[in-house]
Amino acid sequence: MTTPRKLHIKSYGCQMNVYDAQRMVDALAPQGFVETASADDADLVILNTCHIREKASEKVYSELGRLRVAKDEAARNGRTMQIAVAGCVAQAEGGEIIRRQPAVDVVVGPQSYHHLPRLLRDAAQHGRALDTEFPIEDKFGLLPPPSPKAIRARGISSFVTVQEGCDKFCTFCVVPYTRGSEVSRPVKAIADDVKRLADNGVREITLIGQNVNAYHGDGPDGRPWALGSLLAQLAAIPGIARLRYSTSHPNDVEDTLIAAHRDLPALMPFLHLPVQSGSDRILAAMNRRHTADAYRRVIDKFREARPDMAFTSDFIVGFPGETEQDFQATLALVTQIGYAGAYSFKYSPRPGTPAAEMQETVSAAEMDERLVRLQTLIDTQQSAFNAAAIGTTVDVLFERAARNPGQIVGRTAFLQPAHVMASPDLIGQVLPVKIDSLERYSLLGALAQSADLNANVSSVQPASSRMMIGA
């Protein structure tokens, strides 16, 4: 048996990175690596980086500076610490990282994680190793699946990558360059993953991809399947109570996806649908290839199919050429849609993207000011959305014990955390909760029919036989 080696992995950025980090842990487990919470005593530290906005990539170099000190300290104590940089900064600036930071042993792009064990060996034997190729082979098929133990340790909600890359080329965005063009995994491979997760206690699956609703993986009938059909297939897997997907582009919303929201109780009525701007002029400059009206129509279609559907979005303020009038159009769109929440960002030019060549016209002060105005509006909408839950009874999927003794915490269909006093035996179940109050972003309530449940906790059925409760 190999002696255990300690692996510390730090992820920045999107859900895809969080999930990729788990897959790297799974890929390294056969080499005897076990995760550790601190970088200082690790034998291998992986920085899983994000390139989407400027600040995200700057962090990498300052973090590497700190790690270099830890590595030197380890060497003084007779230990070897390897440092690997993964993720989108690795993909975009691999050579630069190697040049700028001699402490880095391995640079590995998102398409090459299955090569990590070999790259670490190469680096140990011959110095440093870099792999930022876009291989033709299916990296998903080459990454080992998580062990049952790892699945159980990760809880009842899990991500599954179904699609990677993006062919949209929005002018501000690095994703098409760092993650490459769209690739979809076959339906069967995804269904097998979801079955394995469900068999080990997972109740909620979030399908992820940079442009997830462009999904078109090979179906069992040999034809490409759209996301709606994939969701229908997964909803039928025993144990799966909730399905979600992220992130979507308005132009790839097909009628089958709308139908899935109408027909599949397990598909949550909550969607992250970025729009970036409410101004048609700016949308065109961003190469979003849709108007504000087209976006509104997509939202309307979802709402017709599922009247309780709620939305979140992403916005960029200060894109080159954005006038006060353009920004007003964004505020107007937000007001018309009424969001459950949204992320807003100041535009940051990314090297290599078309927008980086455009003349920046919005000053830093104006950007700050627009960001505050937009966030204030969104915060108001988010608070109203959360407050509307007070007094209602909502289904909650319980995830874990809460910090307060005796409390457990779960999430509503809209991902709002909900706390109740209840037995941890209920973790993994979807149960109705009467919401009494709101504390910041958390809902507080009590199990509906709690008298019956309390008297009867020992007779609550196991999670897997309660799959449709709450759906």
Q: How far is the CB of 276 from ligand 5AD (least distance, A)?
A: 5
Q: How far is the CB of 9 from ligand 5AD (least distance, A)?
A: 21
Q: Tell me whether residue 203 or residue 288 sits nearer to ligand SF4 (CB atom).
A: 288
Amino acid at 14: C
The entry of ligand 5AD, ligand SF4, none that residue 22 binds, CB within 5 to 8 Å by partner kind: none
**Distance between CA atoms of residues 49 and 176, nearest Å:** 16
**Distance between CA atoms of residues 66 and 63, nearest Å:** 5
Q: What are phi and psi of 407, to 5 degrees?
A: -100, 145
Q: What is the CA radius of gyration of the chain?
A: 23
**Three-state DSSP state, 410:** strand
Q: Tell me whether residue 88 or residue 427 sits nearer to ligand 5AD (CB atom).
A: 88
The entry of ligand 5AD, ligand SF4, none that residue 348 binds, CB within 5 to 8 Å by partner kind: ligand 5AD
Q: Are 401 and 424 in contact (CB under 8 A)?
A: yes
Q: Tell me whether residue 176 or residue 186 sits nearer to ligand SF4 (CB atom).
A: 176
**Distance between CA atoms of residues 68 and 203, nearest Å:** 41
Contacting positions for ligand SF4 (CB under 6 A): 166, 168-170, 173, 175-176, 210-211, 249
Q: Tell me whether residue 52 or residue 241 sits nearer to ligand 5AD (CB atom).
A: 52
The entry of ligand SF4, ligand 5AD, none that residue 316 binds, CB within 5 to 8 Å by partner kind: ligand 5AD
Q: Which residues pair with 446 in a beta bridge?
A: 434
Q: Tell me whether residue 36 or residue 330 sits nearer to ligand SF4 (CB atom).
A: 330
The entry of ligand SF4, ligand 5AD, none that residue 169 binds, CB within 5 to 8 Å by partner kind: ligand SF4
Q: Tell me whether residue 171 or residue 412 sits nearer to ligand SF4 (CB atom).
A: 171
The CA-CA-CA angle for residues 194, 198, 204, to 5°, reads 80
- Report DSSP state, residue 308: T
Q: How far is the CB of 344 from ligand 5AD (least distance, A)?
A: 8
Contacting positions for ligand 5AD (CB under 6 A): 52-53, 172-173, 274, 276, 314, 316, 345, 347-348, 350
Q: Are 75 and 37 in contact (CB under 8 A)?
A: no
Distances from the Cα of 147 to the Cα of 16, 28, 43, angstroms = 20, 12, 22
The entry of ligand SF4, ligand 5AD, none that residue 412 binds, CB within 5 to 8 Å by partner kind: none
